[in-house]
Amino acid sequence: MPTKTSAAGSAAQAQRLVGRPAARELVPTMPGTSARWHMHDYPGPYCRWNYHPEYEVHLIRRGTGRYIMGDHIGRFTEGHLALVGSNLPHHWISDLAPGERLVDRDVVFQFHPQWVQDCQRVLPELKALDPLLARAARGVEFVGETAANAAADLVAIGSSAGLERVRHILALLNTLNRAPAADHRLLASPWLPPLDDPRAADVVDDVLGYIFGQTGGDIRMGEAAALVGMSESGFSRYFARTAGHTFSDTVRKLRLAQACQLLEHTDDPVATIAHRVGYRNLSNFNRQFRLEHGATPRQYRQGQRAVSPVE
């Protein structure tokens, strides 16, 4: 189980990212290929709040943590698979012990909208992908058999070439396109934060770092504003505009996401967990948790244990 510091760290980083414009990532292609496939470690140069015009299929191979996609904050475990739309800001932040590194945590396949359009001109059958790509604008998370089958083809792309590589690419896209309703969900709202703010990535990194470092303690908007050199009122407007929801809502979502992890992976009493994620009033914690997740903390824990008992 990750250390408390690591869980708080991932939660804090996720929080600040939601309120910041993302960095523009340049996505190169390899010679002899039409779209990019790669694996990378965490932490690493590709692990930051970023966006790019390419669509992205993203698989987490190991670890737990929090992810941010547009204005959505969620939790991930091993096997998490998502489709990221063109220019949709995103980031995955793992729970790590001090000095820990996750080798080849991520498997990523990225393809440009123009690549899709060019393929569709030659193969009009590929127009069937249009509904899937439209949904990608909000980010799509896949689970169940769809995620397992898609992950297998996604990994296989990297070890294949020529027509075999094309076969795995088409199989991956077909699997995602045919996912039943129970196997996928949309994540972000249709709104997107501004993408052209040159400060955005640095601001998001700084604020998320502050939040993750303080998840179990006092988090003050004035301190976050000072950290990035803004007045509190100016920061409040900036954050709400770029994140799609307020600073306090972001803090609440991250704290409750950390509470979910603790409910699933520890036997700590609910009151202890509430205190560890920054709630001093148990009734308020229970109320906020139920509003966010549609169940009380105890009901949530029982439901998760019924699916995957804690060893």
- For the domain that residue 252 is a member of, what is the CATH number? 1.10.10.60
Residues 148 and 239 both lie in one domain: no
Tokens 């640095």 belong to: 202
Examine the pLDDT at 19 and tell me if it is beyond 70: no
The CA-atom distances, in angstroms, between 178 and each of 60, 112, 116, 239 are 21, 21, 17, 37
**135/86 Cα distance (integer angstroms):** 11
**Is 51 inside a domain boundary?**
yes
Same domain, residue pair 26 and 155: yes
- The reply to whether 238 falls in a domain is yes
Count how many domains the chain has: 2
Which pLDDT score, from 0 to 100, does residue 308 have?
59
Residues 267 and 238 in one domain: yes
Q: What is the pLDDT of residue 291?
A: 92
Residue 15 has pLDDT above 70, yes or no: no
Task: Mark whether 205 and 171 lie in a shared domain.
Answer: no
Q: What is the 3-state secondary structure (H, E, C) of 59-100?
A: EECCCCEEEEECCEEEEECCCCEEEECCCCCEEEEECCCCCC
- Out of 28-32, 103-107, 221-225, 233-237, pick the least confident: 28-32
Considering the domain architecture, whether residues 179 and 217 belong to the same structural domain is answered as no
Within this chain, do residues 52 and 180 fall inside the same structural domain, yes or no? yes
Residue 33 counted as domain residue: yes
Q: In the listed set 186, 215, 248, which residue is the last one of a domain according to the structure?
A: 186
Segments forming the whole domain that contains residue 77: 22-186
For residue 98, the model assigns a pLDDT of 85
Sign of CA dihedral 93, 72, 190, 200: negative
Q: Give the pLDDT confidence score for residue 3 in this predicted structure.
A: 43
Q: Is residue 233 part of a domain?
A: yes
Q: Is residue 16 part of a domain?
A: no
**pLDDT(303) > 90:** no
Same domain, 133 and 45: yes
Confirm if 51 and 148 have CB atoms less than 8 A apart. Answer: no
pLDDT interval class at 311 (50, 70, 90):
very low
What does the pLDDT average to over 86-109?
A: 91
Mean local confidence (pLDDT), 191-219: 76
Examine residue 10 and state whether it is found in any structural domain, yes or no.
no
Mean pLDDT of all residues belonging to the chain: 86
Task: Please report the pLDDT score of residue 280 as a whole number.
Answer: 92
As a whole number of angstroms, the distance between CA 80 and CA 58 comes to 8
Same-domain pairing of 155 and 239: no
Any bridge partners for residue 51, and if so which? 24
Q: Which helix (H) or strand (E) holds 103?
A: strand 102-111
Mean pLDDT over 149-164 rounds to 97
From 186, 211, 234, give the residue that closes a domain.
186
- Express each pLDDT in 123-153 by its tens digit: 999 999 999 999 999 999 999 999 999 999 9
17 burial type by CB count under 10 A (0-12 exposed, 13-18 middle, 19+ buried): buried
- Maximum separation of any 2 CA atoms in the chain, in Å: 61
